[in-house]
Structure formats: C-alpha cells, structure tokens
Structure 1
Amino acid sequence: MSTATAPTTLNPSIIGQAEKHHTAVLTRALAGTTLDEKQWIVLNQALAAGEPVEQGAHIARIAAMTQWAHTEVETALNALLAKDLLATTPHRLLEPTDTGKAVVSKVRTESGAIVAAAYGAVPAEDLATAARVLATITARMADELSHA
C-alpha cells in the first residue's frame, strides 16, 4: 500500500495540475451560462477594471495576460456584445451590462466557496510566498516569449 506524499519542490507538473483544477472549478460554475472560459475572462476582467475600458486596450491586456491571440479575445468580446453581457458606451468604451454583472456574480459565488476552501487550507504567509514565486516564474516566461 503506497501513500501519497507532498511534493518537495514546485515544478511545471504541480503548476499545471493546479491550473487544471482551477479550470475545472470554473467550468462547473460556468455551466448553464452559455459562456466559455475565454468569454468569462474577457467579461470578468472588464468588470474588474471598475470603469469602462477601451476595446483595443482591453483586447491587448487580455491577450497578454492569457497568451491568446488577439483574434481569439476579439471573438470572445464580440460574443459578449451579442449576448448583451457587454455594451459599448456613448464614448465607445466597453462596460458590463446589468445582465453581465449578474452572470459574473453568479459564477464568482459558485466558484468562490471551493476556491476559498482550497486557499484557506494554506497559511497566509505561504500564499504570499507562492504568489511571489509564481509571479516571478510568469514574468520570466513572458520575457522569454516576447523574444520569439
């Protein structure tokens, strides 16, 4: 009988597994919303901005954050406009509609309990260390990718 032991060091497999589990939680919360992951991120980030955003800048920011092609982000954004989850202001900026805000609230509520329980099992100082480590790894990889 073997027992699982905690990994002794951070590695791509551990990061990948964590990311896949985050995605699975999100997928469960998105069920019934008609949104896919790309649409969710574009909508959620528009709401997180706290104010209307310029479309081109929003697309560029999401593409950089996710490493998706600009066209993929634009397709997701256009789907959100068609679903009336995002709207264009009179000044040609994007903002979530009331329906879009309600969808974000629903998804955050449904995924939030699972995420909070998982992160709550880790001491705050360990989460702070993990955040610094992952931010450094991500920045280094982004730098390398920018040279390609």
Structure 2
Amino acid sequence: MTTTTGPATLTPSIIGQAEKHHTAVLTRALAGTTLDEKQWITLNQTLAAGEPVERSAQIARIAGMTQWNPADVDTALAALLDSGLLRAESGSQVEVTEAGKTLAGKVRTESGVIVAAAYGAVAPADLATAARVLATITARMAEELARA
C-alpha cells in the first residue's frame, strides 16, 4: 500500500505545477471557442467589473495583475471587441455583451467542475491559509519587480 504525503513546504515548483494544471483546465474549457488565455482573462476581468470600464485603465489593471505587456492585453481586448464579446460604450469604456456573458458562463461551468473537485479536497481553513500565503508571496514579488 502506497501512501501519498504532501510536500514538507511550499516551493516555486509546487506553485508552478499548480498554475500549469490550472492553465490546462482552462485550455480544455476554452477548446472550441475562439479565446486564448489572454482573451479569457480580459473577458473575465471585464465581466467581474460588473459595469462598463475605462479601456486604458482596464488594460493597465490586467497587465499589472498578470505581468503581461499592456500591448498584449490591448490586443486581447481588441480581439474581444472584434468578436462581439465586448462592446465599446460611450467614450473609451468597454463592457461585456450578452454573447460574452454566455460564453463566460459556459467556460466557467466547464472548468468549475474540475476546479471545485480539486479545491473541495482541501479543508476551508487550509485554503484560507494558502490564499494568505500566496497573496503575500505575490505582493513581495510585485514589489521586487517594481524595483527593477
């Protein structure tokens, strides 16, 4: 009988593996859509705003959150506008269309089954601790990257 024990401590390798698995789940859910990861995150974050958002501020926010080049986020946003998943509002604001909301719901439902099962295997208190630890690590890395 083989028993599996968890790692002794959190490492960049463990974080990287978790991130790669999250990406694989998302890739599976995006199969058959026209979206890539950058477009999905841009759509999802625009939807999360719950109201029209100023385009340049949204690009800057997503670029900061992901560490992507703002031009790449702008390209993703432009593709979403071209596909009709986002629409331009008055001035320089953008918002998610009904088609964008429908597609986001489909992707969330498909990926959510796998994610819920994985996260459901962990005690809520442990998830809360992991969230605090990862938020702290991310904030410290962001500070270091800002210094460069």
Q: Shorter-chain TM-score: what band?
A: over 0.9
Q: What does residue range 79-94 of structure 1 map to in structure 2 within 5 Å? A: 79-94=79-94
Give unpaired runs (5+ residues) of structure 2. none
In structure 1, C-alpha distance between the alignment counterparts of 2:101 and 2:69, rounded to whole Å: 25
Secondary structure of the corresponding residue to residue 38 of structure 2: helix
Normalising by structure 2, what TM-score? Answer: 0.96
Aligned-residue sequence identity (percent) comes to 72
Counterpart residue number, 1:95: 95
Q: Which amino acid aligns with 1:117?
A: A
Could you give the per-residue CA deviations for residues 8-62 of structure 1, whole angstroms, max 9, x where no partner exists? Answer: 1000000000000000000000001110000000000000011110000000000
Q: Which amino acid aligns with 1:10?
A: L
Q: Any unmatched runs of 5+ in structure 1?
A: none
Partner Cα separation in structure 2 for residue 65 and residue 87 of structure 1: 22
Shift of 1:3: 6.1
Partner in structure 1 of residue 12 of structure 2: 12
TM-score (norm 1): 0.96
3-state SS in 1 of match to 2:81? helix
Letter in 2 for 1:58: Q
Residues 1:132 and 1:72: Cα distance change in structure 2 (over 3 Å)? same
Q: CA deviation at 1:89?
A: 1.0
CA drift at 1:6: 1.7
- Alignment correspondent of 1:115: 115
Runs of 4+ in 1 over 4 A off after TM superposition: 1-4
Distance of 2:128 and 2:6 partners within structure 1: 19
Aligned ranges for residues 1-148 of structure 1 at < 5 Å? 4-148=4-148
State which drifts further: 3-12 or 102-111. Answer: 3-12
Q: 2-side partners of 1:111 and 1:8: how far apart?
A: 29
Q: Give the CA deviation at 1:2.
A: 7.5
Question: Which amino acid counterpart does residue 105 of structure 2 have in structure 1?
Answer: S
Q: How many residues align?
A: 148
Give, in whole Å, the separation in 2 of the partners of 1:25 and 1:40.
13
Distance 2:134 2:94 in 1: 30
What CA distance in whole angstroms lies between the structure 2 residues aligned with 1:18 and 1:117? 14
